[in-house]
């Protein structure tokens, strides 16, 4: 993820990163989410949808979500954070 780049100007990222429940500790999660936020913000016209139970995700990610939806992953309360971008412009058909 830290080395991700794309030749495309628009795209969609769907992610379910570790929550720190079973894998990783809190410090590793904080570093991961900050790096993930930097990567997504470097892709100006990309949308990102992230499923996580980390309650301070937006703070760590570095940007408030455009939409947030609560759901459950098993018994674990989670949120899907949607960071939206402008859709690509379509050429007008003559």
* Number of helices and strands in the chain (H, E): 2, 4
Exposure class string for 2-38: b at 16+ Cβ within 10 A, else e: eeeeeeeeeeebeeebebbeeeeeeeebbebbeebbe
Spatial CA neighbour of 81 closest among 17, 31, 26, 24: 17
In this prediction, residue 70 has a pLDDT band, given cuts at 50, 70 and 90, of very high
What is the reported pLDDT for 90? 78
- Looking at residue 24, what is its pLDDT? 73
Q: How many residues does the chain have?
A: 94
CATH domain 11-83 topology: Rossmann fold (3.40.50)
Query: What are 6-17's pLDDT values in tens digits?
Result: 999 999 999 999
How far apart CA 31 and CA 12 sit, in angstroms, is 22
Question: Mean of the pLDDT values across residues 30-45?
Answer: 94
């Amino acid at each position: 993820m830290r080395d991700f780049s794309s030749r495309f100007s628009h795209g969609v990222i769907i992610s379910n990163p570790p929550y720190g429940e079973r894998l990783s500790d809190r410090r590793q999660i904080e570093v991961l989410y900050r790096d993930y936020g930097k990567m997504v913000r470097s892709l100006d016209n990309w949308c990102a949808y992230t499923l996580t139970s980390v309650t301070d995700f937006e703070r760590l990610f570095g940007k408030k979500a455009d939409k947030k939806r609560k759901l459950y992953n098993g018994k674990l309360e989670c949120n899907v954070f949607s960071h939206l971008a402008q859709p690509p412009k379509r050429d007008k058909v003559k």
